[in-house]
Amino acid sequence: MSRHVGEAFALAKSENRSALIGYLPAGFPTPQMSVQLINAMVASGVDIIEVGLPYSDPLMDGPVIQQAVNQALDAGTTTDVVLDIVRQVVDAGAIAVVMSYWNPIERYGVKKFAAGLQAAGGSGVIAPDLTPEEAADWAAATIEHDIDRVFMVAPSSTPARIAAIVGVTTGFVYAASTMGVTGARTTVSSGAHDLVSRTREHTSLPIAVGLGVSTGDQAAEIAAYADGVIVGSAFVRRVLDAPTDEAAIAGVSELAQELAAGVRRST
């Protein structure tokens, strides 16, 4: 039986900490290696894995993730491969959600994708470019197949927009700490705390902050006010910079341990 993101947030809350969420594109640098890397991240303290579905036109992704996605596509990563990778990491003990632009899901088939993700043991989907107004078919498919719908709020979101977004969200709310593309930053946006506070006025769902987190200190800073801390580009960078597969596994493991310690010592 698949485990849902709610379990991870409940466990983190019982331990008086934030949940740690780590992102890695499926198939990067190869399908087999991505499974090993994800399993290493989970073993080293990541509570929820975002399995990225590689897409050729990633508008929100910065250069680090774009490079990784291109490697995954070059390695032959299809949507079916992504679902198989989800199955493998869930079988190994991960709680997994898929991060995907809407176009690949729509092309694959909305109902078919939801059914395939449920069969693989996946917990939910983050679709950053899907709007509430266009989500009716997706909502129906996710309800039928017990899949969480994670939508994104941004610093520019008005109170009315936040209310509309959380009204169609299940699992948790993704709070983008800054406008612009993904990528590790030396500091976390000062607007992240305000965004979480404004979002809490409209929902009791857990709220996780992402875009820019790369160190244990930043994780601790966000964990002081958010229910979850999301890290993506920093994990990808460890793999890109590693001279060998063994070094890549060691690199993501080391970063996961640092971040896991960070969410446990929130400032």
Catalytic residues: 50, 61
Residues in CB range of 63: below 8 A, 6 or more apart = 183
Q: Are 176 and 210 a contacting pair, CB within 8 Å?
A: yes
Q: Which of 13, 56, 29, 32 is nearest to 235 (CA)?
A: 29
Residue matched to tokens 């129906």: 140
Q: Which of 225, 29, 208 is nearest to 124 (CA)?
A: 208
Backbone angles phi, psi at 55, to 5 degrees: -140, 140
Q: Are 184 and 213 a contacting pair, CB within 8 Å?
A: yes
What does DSSP assign to residue 24?
E
